Structure 1
Amino acid sequence: MLLVVGLLCGGLISLLLLNIVLAQDSYKVNELRSANDQLRQKKEELKNANMRLEMPGALSDSSAKQGQGPDWDEANVITPDRSANSRAASDGQTPAGQERVPGTGR
């Protein structure tokens, strides 16, 4: 009888210890998940801040603060020739490498 009671008490104590170990691991998992969520949120914030800094307005402001600006004197602007013999591509011309498809108007 004493042996059976001793085995039952030993089993109960081992189950209690196993439950404590599992509970500790559960707390660690919850802490790691919350840390992971915080890191993910920080990553998104940094990504959004970086995207805001790469927007044209922010780039323009940043370059103006550094004393830089557009150099309109050196800009290579191509203007179409509007002489009497020239015509636009929509006036019957097709872009290079493309052929007209009969019956489609293209």
Structure 2
Amino acid sequence: MLHGAVPPLLFLDLGRRAVAERAPCGSWRNQHEADLVASMVTSLAKMAEQIGEDEVVRDCCVLTPYVAQQECLRAGLRHCPNAVVSTVDAFQGREAEVVIFS
């Protein structure tokens, strides 16, 4: 998939901008990271469409261990209805061709 257009494994260091905060529910979230992930998914979808592999977005999942981060991610990806955003434990037992961990 994506024929080598993106590396199979990629880590991004957000540096000092990666400030996590505790949500009122007690879970953790990082809005800057959620915005970056939404941008990555959008870019990935455009790249996949350009090379004729637009099914990539249908098989893309964004995983997070935190419910509050899941809410931030869903809000940022509301324009991408096919992108799955899930907590790690809720996604357990399933697969996706492209996985982004936040």
Query: Do these two structures clear the TM 0.5 threshold for a shared fold by scoring above it?
Result: no
Structure having the higher Rg: 1
Higher helix share: 1
TM-score norm. by structure 1 comes to: 0.24
Higher strand share: 2
TM-score norm. by structure 2 comes to: 0.25
Q: Using CA pairs under 8 Å that are at least 6 residues apart, name the structure with larger relative contact order, 1 or 2.
A: 2
